[in-house]
Chain A
Amino acid sequence: MSSSDEALKIPAAKRNVRAERLREFWHYFSENNGAVAGLGIIVLLVLLAVFADVVAPHSPIHQYRGHFLVPPVWMEGGSWDFILGTDAVGRDMLSRLIHGARYSLYVGTVVITIAFSAGITLGLIAGFFRGTVETLIARTMDIILAFPAILLALVLVTILGPSLTNAMIAVAVVVLPHFVRLTRASVVSESTRDYVTSARVAGARLPRLMFVTVLPNCMAPLIVQATLSFSNAILGRGRRRVPGPGAPTPPRRSGAPCCRTPASSSPAPGGW
């Protein structure tokens, strides 16, 4: 459906149209087996995360001192007590994974929400306002892109103080330029199209043009980027395993990210 139609809709009919659309969406959605399977997995993960305390067989932080590095159950020496085995200090892997899901989903959602909304807003502004504003935004994004993620993360956490929230803000800043640039590129390309001109002629004001007329047509690449960045944020891309003096890890106090495997818990994206 094209947005030029939507711009002409009468507000009174809006509610009905929404419900209708939702039904239509679900109809098409449920026809796609892949999409339904995906939804199922997400629901399952969310449930696991929410009910981690009940579902997990062990505490994620309790160290079973007699059981270091127990292999998973299907390997020789494994047992049903520790289905996926234990880590080097005797913590149950399965329980750590289940509890980790909570943290992962939280981090992913928060980071993407921040980066997505801020990125779209900045991108729209850059695409619609020309001149100094656009230059300012574009060049700032260039600077963020040029800075290695590790330095940005280190500095932001140094300034803001080490905490999970600040680490998430740092990650959001690092992925921000992608959303800004994608939005701006789509806006630039879309605003040459006829429907935008007609909306303009019809007297649509700028905010409406930005968010109602143009934005929905820019969403496709942004949604793809958001899904991909979600895994980026969770993975904490850029976790380094450099030996010797020179392995930088963003400063971080324990406690908050207690429940992830120790090898992959520092949030500093951008490296590959």
Chain B
Amino acid sequence: MLRFLITKFAQMIPTFFGITVLSFAFIRLLPGDPATLLAGERGVTPERHAELMALLGFDKPIWQQYLLYVADVLQGDLGNSLVTRQPVLEEFFTLFPATLELSICAMIFATVLGLPAGIIAAVKRGSWFDHTLMGSALTGYSMPIFWWALILIILFSTPPLSWTPVSGRIDILYFFDQPTGFMLIDSLLSGEKGAFWSALSHLVLPTIVLGTIPLAVIARQTRSAMLEVLSEDYVRTARAKGLAPSRVIGLHALRNALIPVITVIGLLVGTLLGGAILTETIFAWPGIGKWMVDSISRRDYPSVQGGLLLIAGIVMIVNITVELLYGLINPRIRYRR
């Protein structure tokens, strides 16, 4: 197990190296550069443009820029944003807790509802529950996020219902220090009356919106995996032996059905942690998805490079966790290197 972890983490090093090369190259491959975007419609003269690029340190030969960048990264310095002039690392980690908090809530929502729904649908295959569930899962998955979010807001956040707030992470009048960046925790720590409920109510709609697609995926994958497993000989044997159905489903079937389900959950978590641009934009959620896209469109090279590196690290950690889980669920799968 320890060896497994060590080799996995060792493998991350060349991957990180690959990410530095690709992110460095990709963002520069796009036409337009920070100086052009700064000037906007006004445009800049070629001389001023060269001057600006020199000011930003982009006048050196490209290989030299890359080496300087890698040298900085190795020292733990991801550089400063070209726009805000703040350290990229600091910007990332002030925004990341918001993304993490929302992703966790969305995944809990999706798993808690999706897993049992998928199991029931598989066990009662062909029933009205099965049909309704699979139909709504497909509808949920095909839902344009933007439209879905706006419908929910119009229904639940504006008069006459006004059950949930429209957007943001907490009522704007609450003003306290945020040591952890997780609003649910910080609101409790603050000791302000009602702050926690305010934070919680702000999470409801974003969680539903962000959790809808994962919910559909998990429900469908669980159902299909369960169907597969339920028709296997050993499950039939277990049933024939007179084991209680719940025990058959819970112990034998589910365990083996979990491999594809866990894989998709891992994929979904990885994707969500990279930021959810639409959900963040709609709910004014200060996460890293919108930050990344803004950085790309402003050609904020250091932010894009640094952000990609950090997101890649997170995605890989999620993957390693998923592989550990494979082994836990099915001990016959050995940890592979």
**Residues of A at under 8 Å CB distance from B?**
2, 32, 34, 130-131, 134-135, 138-140, 142-143, 145-148, 150-151, 154-155, 158-159, 177-178, 181-182, 185-186, 188-189, 192, 220-221, 223-225, 227-228, 231-232, 235, 237-242, 245-248, 264, 270-272
Main secondary structure of the interface of B (DSSP, over half): helix
Q: A142-B315, A154-B296, A272-B145 given as contacts; is B279 within 8 A of A192 (CB)?
A: no
Chain B residues lying within 8 Å of A220, measured Cβ to Cβ, are 224-225, 227-228, 260
Contact of B220 among A138, A155, A224, A272 (CB under 8 A): A224
The residue of chain B having its C-beta at the shortest distance from the C-beta of A270 within the complex is B271
B178 contacts A by Cβ under 8 Å: no
**Residues of B at under 8 Å CB distance from A?**
11, 14-15, 18-19, 22-23, 26-27, 29-31, 37, 40, 126, 131, 134-135, 138, 141-142, 144-146, 210, 213, 216-217, 220-221, 224-225, 227-228, 233, 256, 259-260, 262-264, 266-267, 270-271, 274-279, 281, 289-290, 292-294, 296-298, 304, 308, 311-312, 315-316, 319, 326, 330, 332-333, 336-337
Minimum CB–CB distance from B255 to chain A (whole Å) comes to 11
Do the beta carbons of A224 and B15 come within 8 Å of each other? no
Chain B residues lying within 8 Å of A228, measured Cβ to Cβ, are 138, 141, 216-217, 220
C-alpha spacing A186/B270, complex, angstroms: 19
Chain B residues lying within 8 Å of A143, measured Cβ to Cβ, are 15, 18-19, 22, 312
Chain B residues lying within 8 Å of A2, measured Cβ to Cβ, are 233
Chain A residues lying within 8 Å of B279, measured Cβ to Cβ, are 272
Do the beta carbons of B278 and A271 come within 8 Å of each other? yes
4 tightest A-B contacts by CB? A146-B312, A221-B260, A185-B263, A192-B332
Chain B residues lying within 8 Å of A192, measured Cβ to Cβ, are 330, 332-333
Chain B residues lying within 8 Å of A138, measured Cβ to Cβ, are 319
Do the beta carbons of B216 and A181 come within 8 Å of each other? no
Chain A residues lying within 8 Å of B281, measured Cβ to Cβ, are 240-242
Do the beta carbons of A181 and B263 come within 8 Å of each other? yes
Do the beta carbons of A146 and B19 come within 8 Å of each other? yes
The residue of chain B having its C-beta at the shortest distance from the C-beta of A152 within the complex is B26
Do the beta carbons of B259 and A186 come within 8 Å of each other? yes
A-B contacts, 23 listed (Cβ < 8 Å): A32-B126, A130-B337, A134-B336, A142-B15, A142-B319, A146-B19, A151-B26, A151-B296, A177-B267, A182-B264, A188-B326, A192-B330, A192-B332, A220-B228, A220-B260, A225-B264, A228-B138, A238-B278, A239-B144, A240-B293, A245-B37, A264-B144, A271-B145
Do the beta carbons of B308 and A147 come within 8 Å of each other? yes
Minimum CB–CB distance from A170 to chain B (whole Å) comes to 13
Minimum CB–CB distance from A194 to chain B (whole Å) comes to 10
Do the beta carbons of A150 and B311 come within 8 Å of each other? no
Do the beta carbons of A139 and B263 come within 8 Å of each other? no
Q: A247-B297, A271-B278 given as contacts; is B141 within 8 A of A231 (CB)?
A: yes
C-alpha spacing A182/B260, complex, angstroms: 6
Q: Which of B134, B260, B262 has the most CB of A within 10 A?
A: B260
Q: A147-B308, A220-B227 given as contacts; is B146 within 8 A of A241 (CB)?
A: yes
The residue of chain B having its C-beta at the shortest distance from the C-beta of A241 within the complex is B146
Q: Which of B135, B146, B276, B297 has the most CB of A within 10 A?
A: B297
Do the beta carbons of A238 and B30 come within 8 Å of each other? no
Do the beta carbons of A272 and B293 come within 8 Å of each other? no
Q: A182-B263, A221-B221 given as contacts; is B210 within 8 A of A246 (CB)?
A: no
Q: Which of B31, B37, B259, B330 has the most CB of A within 10 A?
A: B259
Minimum CB–CB distance from B32 to chain A (whole Å) comes to 10
Do the beta carbons of B26 and A155 come within 8 Å of each other? yes
Minimum CB–CB distance from B216 to chain A (whole Å) comes to 7
C-alpha spacing A192/B267, complex, angstroms: 23
Do the beta carbons of B144 and A235 come within 8 Å of each other? yes
Do the beta carbons of B326 and A148 come within 8 Å of each other? no
Chain B residues lying within 8 Å of A232, measured Cβ to Cβ, are 141
Chain A residues lying within 8 Å of B290, measured Cβ to Cβ, are 242
Do the beta carbons of A221 and B312 come within 8 Å of each other? no
Chain B residues lying within 8 Å of A181, measured Cβ to Cβ, are 263, 266-267
Do the beta carbons of A158 and B337 come within 8 Å of each other? no
Chain A residues lying within 8 Å of B144, measured Cβ to Cβ, are 235, 239, 264
The residue of chain A having its C-beta at the shortest distance from the C-beta of B319 within the complex is A142
Chain B residues lying within 8 Å of A177, measured Cβ to Cβ, are 267
C-alpha spacing A192/B134, complex, angstroms: 31
Q: A143-B22, A189-B326, A221-B264 given as contacts; is B210 within 8 A of A272 (CB)?
A: yes
Do the beta carbons of B336 and A186 come within 8 Å of each other? no
C-alpha spacing A247/B141, complex, angstroms: 24
